[in-house]
Structure 1
Amino acid sequence: MIVRNIESLRGTERQIDSENWSSIRLILKDDNMGFSFHETTLYPDTETEIYYKNHLETVYCIEGTGQIQEDDGTVHNINPGTVYALDKHDKHVLRAFSKMRMICVFNPALVGPEKHDENGVYPLINPGS
């Protein structure tokens, strides 16, 4: 059984920070669950271009407001209780109008240190293991 408290992970290698967000990775590939599970905080008034060409992601908003814009221009409002699933490796822009807290699940699981590259992509780390 794996039991962790998010507060114990703050400031450790499981907290990854960027200019627009901070992600605490509660479950990672080495936990052998087949997915990774994160809480990501998006900073207010930010816009992040994302393209998970190597991963599928489901996101559940638990705090704040914003929007997601699909590559074709379609916009969806995001607020607490909204879930979206990037089931086709969808390119998108995520805008945070306020501080947003999101619960994220990735398949395949992230290893831990991944950050978006210049195209908004997380690299595959150790893809065969």
Structure 2
Amino acid sequence: MFNLIYTTVFFASYGNFYGLSNITIGSFDIMLDYIVAIVCAIVFALILRLPLLPSKPYRYSFDVSAIYPTPIIAIGILSLFLVLNYTFMYNGLVLAVVIGVLSALFVKYLFDFVFPKPLDENTGEDINE
């Protein structure tokens, strides 16, 4: 299992699409970028007054929160940039902060438009409203 994690973390540092291995970053920088993106996404989502957890029951809730899906979106977008070997400045730290802030803004203002809530079968209205 640790070998899988090792190769997954180092995937972005092997080289970019064109094989230019001289412009790569290490695994410590990659993990630090992920942590910074997660923390920035959660903190900025809380500043935007998103709830920390969705409404109860958690299993059937389609509410957005600071814990889910905000950092998941930040990790996904940051992964795309790292796989393309675009890290911007300071080994990707500035990019991680920008992506964390933008993902919190996306979840707060655009998430319901892009991913609408499912309709309730009984009433024909949105669930959790």
- TM-score, normalization by structure 1: 0.25
Rg larger in structure = 2
Higher strand share: 1
Higher helix share: 2
